Structure formats: structure tokens, C-alpha cells
Structure 1
Amino acid sequence: MSDASMGGGMDRRSFLSAVGLGAAALGGTSLLSACGGLKGTGSSSSDVLKIGYVSPQTGPLAGFATADNFVVKQIQEAMRGGFTAGGKKRTIEIIVKDTQSNPNRATEVTRQLINSDKVDLIVGSSTPDTTNPVADQCEANGIPNVTTIAPWEAWFHGRNGKPGEGFKYTTLFFFGMQEFADCFFPMWERMDVSNKNVAALWPNDTDANAFRQGLGPMMEKAGYSPIDGGAYQNGATDFSAQIAKFKESGAELFTCTPIPPDFQTFWKQAQQQGFKPKLATVAKVMLFPSEAEALGALTDNIATDFWWSPAHPYKSILDGKSAQQLADDFAAETGKQWTQALGSVYSLFEIAIQAFKEAGDPKDRDEVAAKLRGMKLSCMSGDLDFTAGPEPGIAIQHPVGGQWRKGEKFPWDVVIVDNTPNKAVPVGGDLRPTNG
């Protein structure tokens, strides 16, 4: 999925535990207690707007939620004084639910938010295992909803969206296959290679098949020849056959959409067996610092897609905080390195609060849902336009190319090396061969 491309069920729930991304150091209790200050305001219930937040805070997918506790506190602080919506002063109450990295649990906790907690709007993040069941419940129950960090194709087509019509209550911001092409192809073009063969490690799962069927034809149209290593099963331990095929093709470019543990295995075997592509542009893997640390020295100059980073020139619509400030504050408070999810989760709340502000009656679910579908704003995730498509209610982000390099404060950091798809993001260094 990218992390960016995170369709798939059990595979998705198993891969992060294998790379050490265990449960985030937070749970529903700590976040709910942190919200307590927003409850006893003395205001009538109509003055309090309830936002439900659903994400995988524990279990194998918890790596995506490491910033959740921090973000909720940031939003609470920014909104401490309340805001005006529908002609009166409002406060927000954030009710957090943990999917435990299980799509069935995601359905269950979303129902709790709707039926027991009586929320006014629900936001959710991180992989179709979360976004799709959450959105389905919101659509069925008429609850305004926005989600992120799931490829739009997996979210839209995976929920049987009607082209040109979309959904009434549910919206998404992220990106899809075209944006991967826009991100990776310019980096390929800058490499001095002897042929246009691209070694492609695509397993037989939801994500990789989307790349095989979507990105593959785009590659051919652009003059590249995908050398498909074959639709192997996740959890493979021997990639000798794929490596031999890639070497025989003479491919000097490489792309992939495996689960992270499989990439770690493949990449080490490729080095041992002499397949050292000039440039590796990977999707779904190498999105977290933990993965870079796990791979060690072989991480150097692996490129992937970045939809948010401290280098992105974006600001909060709530308090003006910059992306760099948000990342710095996160590191100062938690001692942890930023992740791309930090900016995405923050923007979920920016969008929700903006929809409340724009509605004549923020308690009118149909009106708030309409405001989400018609939303255009500049926020921590950049310029988002939910009216522009590819389908109604979807706002597209444009990731840029970054490479992992030895860090100063942390073991590995990201350098933006190609901003062809998004010139607003400054380039921080030269594109280097992954293997010189």
C-alpha cells in the first residue's frame, strides 16, 4: 500500500507482526480517558459533536496506529476552546475504538459507535481491513464518514461502488494505481539502464493482483516490459526461481508489492544470488522506519512512495502547525520517528471538523455527509478535493519518490528525490542507484 496498497485479509493481518510492528503503546482506555475533559462541559448534548475513530491500535496491524494517541491529543488541544458550527459554540468528543486488526471487529465497533455512543460522524484509518467494514456500516446506517490509507480502487470497487455515483455517506482520501505510475516511472526514466525491462515481484494476493492488472498495462503503455516473477503464495521462503528469471531478463529496474517479511527474504536472497537492480521502487513495503531498521544495510537507497513527510509543505487547518512541526512534536513527545500515517490521521479530524463548521446544522447527518462529498480544503495532507474524483467522494493525493538513507537522529531517514507528481514537495537530495 504503498502501504499504500493494502487490500487483502489474513495476509495483511499477519505481515506486520513478522517485522516487529507489534501492538501500539495505547488502547481504547487511555484514549477514552484522555477525552474525558471534553465531556463535562456543562453544555447540552446538542453542543457536543461526537466523532468516532476506528483503527487497528492493537494486533498485527498496530504499526499503522502508532501515532493515534498523539494525534487525538493534538486535536483535543487545538479544539480546546471549541468552535462555531450551526450558529452556536460546539465542543468535540472523540470516542476511540480498536479493531484489534480484525475486519469483523471493525464492523462490530462501528456498530457500537452508531448505536450505543450515538456519534455524529465516524473517521477510520489504515488498510481496507479497516476502511471498508467501517464505511459499509456508516453507509448502511446513514452516518457521515471519511477514511484514509487504503487504495481507492480497493475501497471503491471492493464495496461495489457505482461508477459516477459513489456513496452518499462515505468518503476517502488516498490514491491508486495511476499515482503509483506517476511516482515510479519518472524515477525509472532517470536511471541509465540498458533495457526497459522491469523485474516485478507480485504475489498472488489482492494487492499484487491489482498491480499486475493495473500497473502492468500502464508500464507497457509507457514502453516498459514487466518481467513478472509469477504469482507465488505469501510466506514463500525461497525466491531462487524469481531471481533467476529476473537475472536472465537483464532487468535493471525492480518493483514489487509483497508482504514485508517476504520482501526482506527476497531482497537478502537477491543480493546473495547476484541480482542487484540499479533501482528498486517498492510498494507496500519499506513504508515504516521499523522495516528499514529490520533490513539493515540493504535498506540503503531503496525508493518508495511518500504521500506525507516532514518535508511536505502542508499546514493544519486547525492551528497552522506545519508538517515539520507535527513530526518534531511527535518525536519530542514519544521518542519515535514520524510515519506517514501521522499526517493522514490528523487530516481525518481536520476534514470532520470542517464538515461540521460548513453545515448549517452539524447534527444533520445528510447535510454533513453532503459537505464531506463536496469538500475542498488545504490541510495537513495537502490540497484535497473530494469532488474531483476519480469517483465522487474520493480525494486523490499525489505521492512523491523518496529513498531511505542513513539517518542522523534515527538509524534511517527518508530523502525526497523526485517530485514529478507533486512539485509542491521540495526535493531534498539526488536520486541515487539502489545498487551502484
Structure 2
Amino acid sequence: MADGNPRGGAPGTAGRGDLTVGVVVARTGRLASLGDPLDFALERLGPRLAAAGPAGRRIRVAGRDSRSTAEGARQAVAELIRDEGAVLVLTLAGTEVLPAVADACEAAGTPCVSSTFPWQVYYYGRGGDDGRPFARTFHFCWGLDDIAGTFADLWELAGGPGRTVGCLWNDGPQGSWSRHERHGFAPAARARGHRLVDPPAYAEPAAAFDGHLTAFREAGADIVTSAATARDLGRFRELAARAGLTPRLITCSRWLAYPPTTSGTYGPPAQTGVGTLVYWSPAHPYRSSLDGTTAAELAEAYEQRTGRQCPQPLGLAHALFEVAAHALRTADDPEDPEAVAAALRRTDLETMAGRLDWTSGPVPNVAGVALAGGQWQPGERHGLELAVVTPGRVDGLRPTADLLPATAGALAR
């Protein structure tokens, strides 16, 4: 365990001259499973960070539980700054939690770095303005347009150009941002020549999808795309199979980028045969800037330690700590918030999540993350494994499998 009791971050544990990096992580509540990769990276990298600071300074880490709520996230930030003296805060995941952490840090004037949240939602959803960027909050992630491009690659691989695509979008932020006419998924998908069929949004958790099934059938949609939870996608697939609707391919982001779960009454994991985005995997040609660990080695370490299938956010969680160490090493004064923010603005670093370049991001204070296209297929080590089927924009990544078609049997079994 890292110095400074990172799971609790008790006050008074910092040594003289230490620089504290605060970590807001979901350990309890509905997002607890999403907090696991960040907790793993925190524990693994804490000792390494101690020696990775600027000359004569140690870096310690201190964690606080967000409790999977915006209120808990704001309290965690307050405690990390007040009780731990955090000079930089890290976090990832959570539609409500991540923006709450970033906003609390911005208000407090403490630099924050976050990830795993499409950058348009992070930036514009928080009221960002290209002419007046945030002062102290930074982010790295792919965009909704990147997801659309990756999914379009998969749709065209499954059935050629100009597909009719049924949209299974909820009435929450995921659906609203997916269909946003300026910054969303929809305009980027249409720009690739695909027709989107978008019935009225459904409320989570969903019980029925009669309107969607009717609209998809009447429009001849042979592809379905979504940002549903595993439970709701499983329910949709069950009802679609009963209705005789068998799309060539289903693509889904959000929870479907995580290892499989069985949800609702739909028998197999909802991920079965689903195409999704791949932002990190053991096959990625990435390595740590801290110690040279490769993506494959990190994935193996996680599985050996936890006994669980490696999740994609692990690579981004690891990269958060790399960025923190780099910023504190290169800041003119690592205790001055503006100096740390300035160091983040000029960061261009090869990490476990690939190249993170804040000097040329899509908007100020944002660095992009490259995406590939994947599909959940039967695996040798796990029941389902995420295969890379299109390299997308990831330099040096090779596909690990061919795209498998969705079949009536796969949907119904």
C-alpha cells in the first residue's frame, strides 16, 4: 500500500516537503465496480510515485471515496484539499461524479486531471467555452465523434456503406449528448453516409422497447447502436429475438466496454457479439512512462492480483498517475496551482494510454485518446473477451480477430 494510507488518507501522514496527489475513487455505491481499476493503479503505483517527484521531493497519494454520488465527490475533494493538502486531484468515471469532482477543483483553484468521459460532455456539459477555457481542470479522453467514426467502421465492415442504423438511446445525458446536433455522435455518424432511426428516448431502467422495435423494423434498420446499460441492452436483445428482429450487428459504448455481466432475464451476458470501442487492451503497443511496464504486463498483473478479467479503464487509470508525476516534476513550483496547471497545459507524454498531448487537443485543457473497434467474442481465458477487429486510429495496433456476424442463434440463446 502506498505511503499516506491511500485508502483512507488520514490527515497528518505527509512528511515534510511531500507533495500530495489526491484521488477521488468510487469504493462504495453503484459505481464501485468502476472504481476498481483506479484503486488498483493507486495501490500499485503509490510506492513508485514516492521516488518520481521533483528533486528532493516525495510524491504521496491519498484517496477518498466519492460514494458514487456528486455530493460525496464534492466532499471528497474538500477533504483532500483541506486535510491532505492535495496539490493535484485525479479521478475517472461517473456521469454525475466526474463533473462534480472537476467543478469542485475548479472552484477551489486546485488542478484536476480526469478521464473516461467523452470530452464534449466533459467540456461543454460543464459550461466550457473555447474562448475562456477552464483554469485548473484537465481531461483526456476520446470524443463522441470518435465513437461514431469507430462504430461506422464496424457497421461498414458488417454490411458495407450507407447502413440504416436504429438508435437505442435513453432520456438521460448519454442519449441527449449522442443526438446533440453540433457536438454529438449523430452528426458524425450521418457525415459517414449512414441513416439514423431515432425513436423517442426510453427511461432507465427500461421495461419494454415496443416503439423502438416497430420503428427499426419499419425503417429496415439492420444495425442497432446504443449507449445502454448492460441490463437494458440485455432486455432489448431478449425482446428483439422474440420479435424476430435480428440485426447484422449491435454496437454499444458506456458499460458495454467493460467485462461481461449477466443482467435481467436475458440469458448470456449482454455483451455477447456486441461491437464496442476499444481504447485500451493488452494488445495495445503502449507502455508506462514511469517504469516501462507494457499494456500486456499491466493486464496480467491485474488478473493475477484480482482474479478478475482486466477492464479497459485500467490503462487510463495508470496514465492518470503518470501525468500527475510528470506535471509535478516539470512545474516551476509544484506547490503553486498555476505552475502545476501550466505544466499540464504543455504536457505531451507517451503513457500507458498512448500519447497524451495537451498542446494540441480538440479544445483547451483536453487531450485526445485514440480508439479502435472491438467485439466481444468467445475467448480462451474468459467466457467472452474483447477482440480488436479494426485498428481505428491507434498506430501500431493489429486486429486480433475478424468481426463475427450477429445471428438469430446468438441473440436468442
Relative to the length of structure 1, the TM-score reads 0.86
Query: Unmatched 5+ residue regions in structure 1?
Result: 1-25
- The 8 Å contact of residues 260 and 269 in structure 2, kept in 1 or not, is answered as no
- Which amino acid is 1:146 matched to? V
* TM-aligned CA deviation for residue 165 of structure 1: 3.2
Contact 1:237 1:265 in 2 (8 A): yes
Counterpart Cα distance in 1 of 2:47 and 2:406 = 42
Change (3 A) 1:386 1:205: same
| CA shift for structure 1 position 164 | 3.6
Q: Does 1:59 align with 2:26?
A: no
- 1:24-423 aligned at under 5 Å gives the runs 31-32=6-7, 39=13, 45-46=16-17, 48-80=18-50, 82-85=51-54, 88-192=55-159, 196-213=163-180, 214-291=184-261, 296=268, 299-423=271-395
Do the aligned partners of residues 156 and 192 (structure 1) sit closer, same or farther apart at CA in structure 2, a change above 3 Å counting? closer
In 2: Cα distance, 1:298 partner to 1:380 partner? 28
CA RMSD of aligned residues (A): 2.3
Sort the Cα spacing of 1:84 and 1:180 in 2 relative to 1 into closer, same or farther, 3 A: closer
- Per-residue deviation, 1:197: 0.8
- Alignment check: 8 A CA contact 2:148 2:186 kept: no
Query: What per-residue deviation string (whole Å, max 9, x for no partner) do you get for residues 130-171 of structure 1?
Result: 221111121122211101111112211122112143111110
| Bigger shift: residues 280-289 or 304-313 | 280-289
C-alpha distance in 2 between matches for 1:163 and 1:193: 37
Percent identity between matched residues is: 30
Q: 1:162 to 1:288 in 2, by over 3 A?
A: same
TM-superposed CA distance for 1:84, in Å, is: 4.8
Q: How far did residue 108 of structure 1 move?
A: 1.2
Give the secondary structure class of the aligned counterpart of 2:85. Answer: coil
Does the 8 Å CA contact 2:68/2:94 hold for their aligned counterparts? no
- The CA distance in 1 between the partners of 2:363 and 2:227, in whole Å, is 24
Work out the CA distance in 2 between the residues paired with 1:276 and 1:182: 23
Confirm or deny: 8 A CA contact 2:117 2:141 kept in the other structure. yes
Question: Per-residue displacement from partner, 1:33-79 (whole Å, max 9, x unpaired)?
Answer: 7x79x957xx5x22x11010002111101121122332112112323
Listed as ranges, the gaps of 5+ residues in structure 2 are: 409-413
Post-superposition Cα deviations, 1:272-301, rounded to whole Å, max 9, x if no partner, equal 211111111112232221336885166432
Q: How many residues align?
A: 400
Distance 2:364 2:123 in 1: 10
For residues 154 and 193 of structure 2, the distance between their equivalents in structure 1, rounded to whole angstroms, comes to: 14
Larger RCO: Structure 1 or Structure 2 (Cα < 8 Å, ≥ 6 residues apart)?
A: 1
Displacement after TM superposition at 1:112 (Å): 1.2
Is the 8 Å Cα contact of residues 132 and 159 (structure 1) preserved in structure 2?
yes
SS of the counterpart of 1:331? helix
Deviations 1:81-112 (A, max 9, x none): x1351xx3222211101111100110111011
Match for residue 435 of structure 1 among 393, 399, 407: 407
Matched residues in 1 for 2:233 and 2:149: separation? 23
Q: Does the residue aligned with 1:430 lie in a helix, a strand or coil?
A: coil
Q: In the alignment, which residue of structure 1 is the partner of 2:411?
A: none
* 1:414 aligned counterpart, secondary structure: strand
Say if 1:164 and 1:391, in contact at 8 Å, map to a contact too: no
Query: Do the aligned residues in 2 keep the contact of 1:401 with 1:416 (CA within 8 Å)?
Result: yes
Q: Structure 2 vs 1, CA of residues 433 and 112 (structure 1 numbering), >3 Å: closer, same or farther?
A: same
What SS does structure 2 have at the residue aligned with 1:58?
coil
Moved more, 357-366 or 96-105: 357-366
Offset from partner CA, 1:210-258 (integer Å, 9 cap, x none): 1112222222222211111321222221112211221222211110122
The alignment partner of 2:241 has SS state of: helix
Return the alpha-carbon distance in structure 2 between the equivalents of residues 158 and 301 of structure 1. 32
Residue 60 of structure 2 aligns to which amino acid in structure 1? E
- Whichever residue aligns with residue 83 of structure 1, its letter is A
Q: After superposition, give the CA deviation of every residue in 1:175-210 in whole Å (9 maximum; x if it has no partner).
A: 221111221111112223696210111121111111
Secondary structure of residue in 2 paired with 1:83:
coil
Relative to structure 1, the CA distance from residue 218 to residue 194 in structure 2 (aligned partners, 3 Å threshold; closer, same or farther) is closer
- What is the SS of the residue equivalent to 1:32? coil
TM-score w.r.t. the length of structure 2 is 0.91
Return the alpha-carbon distance in structure 1 between the equivalents of residues 389 and 96 of structure 2.
Answer: 31
Change (3 A) 1:302 1:83: closer
Distance (whole Å) between structure 2 residues aligned to residue 348 and residue 278 of structure 1? 37
Counterpart residue identity of residue 233, structure 1 = A
Which ranges of 4 or more aligned residues in structure 1 deviate by more than 3 Å? 29-33, 292-295, 297-300
Secondary structure in structure 1 of the residue aligned to 2:255: coil
Q: Distance in 2 between matches of 1:297 and 1:112?
A: 39
CA–CA distance in structure 2, aligned partners of residues 366 and 179 of structure 1: 31
